[in-house]
Amino acid sequence: MTPPIALVVGPIFFEDAKWQALAPEVTLKEYRKGTREEFISLLKSGTFDGAEAIFRSNESTAVTGPFTEEIVSVLPSTVKYICHSGAGYDNIDVEACTKRGIQVSNTPHCNEDAVADLTIYLMIGALRQITRPNNALRAGKWRGTIVPGHDPQGKILGILGMGGIGSGVAKRAEAFGMKIQYHNRHPLPSTSTTHPSATYVSFDELLSTSDVISLNLALSHGTEHILGAPEFAQMKKGVVIVNTARGGLIDEEAMIRALDEGKVFSVGLDVFENEPHVDARLLGSEKVVISPHIGAATVETMAAMERLVIENIKSALFDGKLLTQVHEQLVKS
């Protein structure tokens, strides 16, 4: 029997040796660097025909662009599995994949610690309005004119989306003396691993009573702009918002207005609506602590994610099933 073919799209940073070790039981093909146009053209011309499993990542989006219907529709008919490195996979049209009989896996738990760590960093930075003194020091002006920030102790943290990352945020925030409340669109099952001391509240109550709001939910059709003008209007004056999930969850225009009006004290953002382009008003604001979508950008976490993708590929090609298939496809099947 000829060995199955696996195709890697985009870079592998740490576990290339493990990828290479798939051979010769698996035939390896690659498209690590290039452009969307070239990739599509190569797909159409049959260069990757026979491939059964594809290793791609959030980083590969910089090479080929997102796996929209346009790419999914021209993948070789042999493709059965797309194994994605990343917890978020909104850059894959899962519905289009399901229609073509392609199963998709992500790396759901590997980045939980790293993203939760960044969330707390952005939260403290925002509570302290750290940007102004940080900039002033680097410009040789020591502190500039700083306003005192706020302590997290005794404040109410509202977590929107109590999944693995949200639970990690809750655990850490508790160590800083915060009270935790959360809301999920769908109530969690009783066997969930929700942080034990977090109180479930309605969306409205989360908005109106939280001192800090952390977005830790997935972006989907139902959650686009989940924080928009009406939601900002309901929030406490002086609220702090942290978003390490997806930029599209927040109406950036409404958020900027709320910052200007002083409704929102400060924000911490790792993600933006039109990444990699960031609104100049956010870049230039001293009430904003920002980072360029580096939630999982650590040696340890990226290596763990890549290892899980390779394990998914092995399991798919030799056991006929993925280890961490995406939620939507599990529910459907």
Q: Which is nearer to another protein, 5 or 127 (CB)?
A: 127
Q: Which residue has the tokens 């001192």?
A: 211
Taking CB under 8 A as the criterion, which residues in 100-119 touch another protein? 113-114, 117-118
From 44, 45, 77, 142, residue interacting with another protein (rule: CB under 8 A): 142
**101, two tokens:** 């009989």
Query: Closest separation between CB of residue 133 and another protein, Å?
Result: 5
Q: Which residue has the tokens 């493990």?
A: 18
- Number of residues counted as binding another protein (CB under 8 A): 50
Would you name the residues annotated as active-site residues? 246, 275, 293
Query: Closest separation between CB of residue 45 and another protein, Å?
Result: 32
From 47, 91, 234, 291, residue interacting with another protein (rule: CB under 8 A): 291
Reduce the DSSP state of residue 229 to 3 states and report it: helix
User: Per rule CB under 8 A, is residue 294 in the interface with another protein?
Assistant: yes
Query: Closest separation between CB of residue 266 and another protein, Å?
Result: 13
User: Per rule CB under 8 A, is residue 149 in the interface with another protein?
Assistant: yes
Query: Closest separation between CB of residue 297 and another protein, Å?
Result: 5
Nearest to 266 by CA among 116, 156, 130, 115: 130
Listed ranges 29-37, 81-89, 171-179, 239-247: which one lies at the site for another protein (CB under 8 A): 171-179
User: Per rule CB under 8 A, is residue 165 in the interface with another protein?
Assistant: no
Torsion of CA 69, 71, 76, 78, to 10 degrees: -50
Q: Are 275 and 284 in contact (CB under 8 A)?
A: no
Q: Are 119 and 165 in contact (CB under 8 A)?
A: yes
E strand or H helix at 156, and its extent? Answer: strand 156-160
Listed ranges 25-33, 200-208, 224-232, 299-307: which one lies at the site for another protein (CB under 8 A): 299-307
Q: Reading across the β-sheet that carries 179-183, which strands appear in turn?
A: 199-200, 179-183, 156-160, 212-215, 239-243, 264-269, 288-290
Q: Which is nearer to another protein, 120 or 217 (CB)?
A: 120
E strand or H helix at 268, and its extent? Answer: strand 264-269
Residues 174-213: x/- map of binding to another protein (CB under 8 A)?
Answer: xxxx------------------------------------
From 40, 201, 297, 323, residue interacting with another protein (rule: CB under 8 A): 297
Using alpha carbons, list the distances in angstroms from residue 78 to 24, 29, 194.
19, 14, 40
Q: Are 108 and 84 in contact (CB under 8 A)?
A: no
Point out which residues bind another protein (CB under 8 A). 13, 113-114, 117-118, 120-121, 124-125, 127-128, 130, 133-138, 140, 142-143, 146, 148-153, 171-172, 174-177, 275-276, 278, 283, 289-294, 297-302
